[in-house]
Chains A and B, each alone.
Chain A
Amino acid sequence: MLELAIKGSKRYYGWMTFLLAVIGAGFLVYLWQLDFGLGITGLSRDASWGFYIANFTFLVGVAAGGVMVVLPYYLHDYKAFGKVTILGEFLAIASVIMCITFILVDLGQPMRVFNVFLYPTPNSVLFWDTIVLQGYLLLNIIIGWNVLEAERNNVHYQRWLKPLIYLSIPWAISIHTVTAYLYCGLPGRGFWMTAILAPRFLSSAFASGPALLVLLCLIIRRVSSFDPGREQIQSLAKIVAYAICVNVFFFLCEVFVVFYSQIPEHMDHFKYLFVGLYGKGAYVPWMWASLTLMVIGIILTVNPLTRKNEGVLAVACVLIFLGTWIDKGLGMIAGGFTPNPLHHVNEYIPTLPEIMIALGVWAMGFLVLSALFKIAVGVKEEVRA
């Protein structure tokens, strides 16, 4: 099926060339980082993780979000999603590849990464995270590829795939749960230390992942003769609507606990993010923008009139994707590290080289995603013809 990824229109080639250019630029900056060290980023002794890990966290969510088309189809026999499950699985593959790359570019000594497997350390959550991520990648490659191949040959997929498909559903939950455990089990980091962190991560994942899928479906309908279907898009939109509501609800639960209890170690991080602390507040406009975007997203997706209009729905999905990205991709990590454990406010601001490397990783993910979707759509077109 790989040949489907290389045969394409001019527009397809143009898009892939553009992505390659962004990847190339990011890679050059990465070579600089490899040579100089992580000092070219905005990271510091106080904010020891930043943009890379934030994007990693967000993308684990997108990867897990793919399960929202797999679960209804395989567990509830919701036939309509049969058409789009492959899109969810391929989105998961591309996202996990981005996640792993973000981890790699964040390492100070990337050449030593195999030490994680040479000296397996079960008490470290990071050790488990690498395992569940790679497992999820493998599961989705095996399932996605074989199911698509079977569809192309007009046969039922192999029976042994079924258990793997069932396994992939809790596995999707596990990747984001373990990712949340990276943060919420650390003593002395009040912002993250909350049992709602994993549920919050999952709810934002189930909003951002399907929101991206809706957008991708709309694009596919435009650029190919395969129509993912109006019903499918509407069902996805409902999932987005519920998930984003739950996400904002969880956030408000956290806000209540933090501000009613008034415990400074927990409250100060929220203050820093939303109103600024000791005169420093680079993230204040971003965090309010994020909340506003999510609330508008709720209004547009919950209201059937706006949801059923696909143009408005597209806008809503963009808003939700951006809103959850700011929430998790910007605020979650920077907010956890500021103020620092000694209660100093040393702000973390990503630098241009850091952003370029991150863009390169995103471009790489979209390159993989475009190639995979090209294959999937190609097969669908073939089968229909």
Chain B
Amino acid sequence: MDSSRRRVLQLLGLSALGLSVKPVLNAFAEEAEQQAQAQIKRGENALSAQQWAMVVDTRAFESEDDFAPLIEACHKIHNVPVLENKRHEIKWIWTDHFHNAFPGKAARFLSEEVEKRPFLVLCNHCENPPCVRACPTKATFKRESDGIVLMDFHRCIGCRFCMAACPFGARSFNFRDPRPFIKETNKQFPTRMKGVVEKCNFCAERLAVGQLPACVAASDGALTFGDLYDPASEVRELIRTNFTIRRKQTLGTEPSVYYIV
């Protein structure tokens, strides 16, 4: 949700309230009251949380093939282009070796299967996100209502400060017009233009209509999504009963993606 639009609406609502208390304008009171309620309403089925979080059960994945449907699902619905040139590559969710996904956490000798297994990486929707701190236009912002780190593609000036600030390489930049490289455009989600940054949005558009993120839905239960601050949530249950790690935890960004290894 565009925060400036929301602010305008709030202001409208406030001034309408102000009007309604003026006795002279009593005649308009009814109308004013209606205006006072002007705000973007949540969808009836919308899912909500204090801070959305994800738990990845890495044991459920063995090879790239196991991940392919998740990545495919995300990139397809979000109109992520497929670019041949590695330098122009755009990705929201992908896989890497353990020692790349968790630099500094890999022991000199690792269990063979951990060493071989790919690990899923995506934006961590950090609770203390350095990308948000760096952005000079608030085009990257942390949505207060549910902790998702979102982007306004129309405000982004393409300075790429957020990319330098993100310690997880979660962000991609449109080095050229991406539209010709989208196989099948999903009309439900905006395509981007050249010169702006993008990344995983925790499927905010799906949560708004009561659906779980696409990668979670395609994961056959290997990914779990829920509210980190609801002690009864499924993610909390998993975190409580399993040993989990997070990426680069020592940096203090407080990632919201947890991994069961």
A residues engaging B (CB < 8 A)? 36-39, 41-46, 48-49, 103, 106-110, 112-113, 115-116, 118-119, 121, 123-127, 130, 182-183, 186-189, 264-265, 336-337, 340-344, 346
The CA of A337 and the CA of B169, in the complex, are separated in Å by 11
The CA of A341 and the CA of B194, in the complex, are separated in Å by 24
Whether B157 and A116, one on each chain, are in contact in the complex, defined by CB atoms closer than 8 angstroms, is yes
A residues less than 8 Å from B157 (CB atoms): 107-110, 112-113, 115-116
- Chain A at the B interface: mostly helix, strand, loop or mixed? loop
A residues less than 8 Å from B165 (CB atoms): 186-187
A-B contact pairs, 28 of them (CB 8 A): A38-B173, A39-B85, A39-B88, A43-B173, A106-B160, A107-B158, A107-B195, A108-B194, A109-B158, A115-B155, A115-B157, A116-B137, A119-B4, A119-B137, A121-B135, A121-B137, A124-B133, A125-B161, A187-B167, A187-B252, A189-B164, A264-B104, A341-B166, A341-B167, A342-B96, A342-B121, A342-B168, A344-B100
B residues less than 8 Å from A343 (CB atoms): 99-100, 103
Whether A342 and B137, one on each chain, are in contact in the complex, defined by CB atoms closer than 8 angstroms, is no
By beta carbon, the residue of chain B nearest A339 is B103
Q: Which of these binds chain A: B61-69, B174-182, B215-223?
A: B174-182
| B138, B157, B197 interface centre (most CB from chain A within 10 Å) | B157
Whether B169 and A187, one on each chain, are in contact in the complex, defined by CB atoms closer than 8 angstroms, is no
CB distance from B71 to the nearest CB of A (A): 16
| B85, B88, B136, B196 interface centre (most CB from chain A within 10 Å) | B136
A residues less than 8 Å from B176 (CB atoms): 36-37, 39
**Using a CB-CB cutoff of 8 Å, which residues 126-175 of chain B contact chain A?**
130, 133-139, 155-161, 163-169, 171-175
CB distance from B203 to the nearest CB of A (A): 22
B residues engaging A (CB < 8 A)? 4, 85-91, 96, 99-101, 103-104, 121, 130, 133-139, 155-161, 163-169, 171-177, 193-197, 248, 251-253
10 tightest A-B CB contacts, nearest first: A108-B158, A188-B167, A108-B195, A39-B175, A37-B194, A44-B87, A48-B163, A39-B176, A126-B136, A124-B136
Additional pairs, 17, CB under 8 Å, beyond known A125-B161, A342-B96: A36-B194, A37-B175, A37-B176, A38-B195, A39-B85, A39-B194, A44-B175, A45-B90, A108-B156, A108-B160, A126-B134, A126-B136, A186-B130, A186-B134, A187-B130, A342-B103, A342-B168
Whether A45 and B134, one on each chain, are in contact in the complex, defined by CB atoms closer than 8 angstroms, is no
By beta carbon, the residue of chain A nearest B253 is A187
CB distance from A98 to the nearest CB of B (A): 18
Whether A43 and B135, one on each chain, are in contact in the complex, defined by CB atoms closer than 8 angstroms, is no
Whether A108 and B174, one on each chain, are in contact in the complex, defined by CB atoms closer than 8 angstroms, is yes
CB distance from B154 to the nearest CB of A (A): 8
CB distance from B94 to the nearest CB of A (A): 10
The CA of A183 and the CA of B197, in the complex, are separated in Å by 19
Whether A342 and B101, one on each chain, are in contact in the complex, defined by CB atoms closer than 8 angstroms, is yes
The CA of A384 and the CA of B96, in the complex, are separated in Å by 71
By beta carbon, the residue of chain A nearest B96 is A342
B residues less than 8 Å from A123 (CB atoms): 133
- Contact check: which of B100, B104, B169, B195 meets A109 at CB < 8 Å? B195
CB distance from B85 to the nearest CB of A (A): 7
B residues less than 8 Å from A48 (CB atoms): 160, 163-164, 173
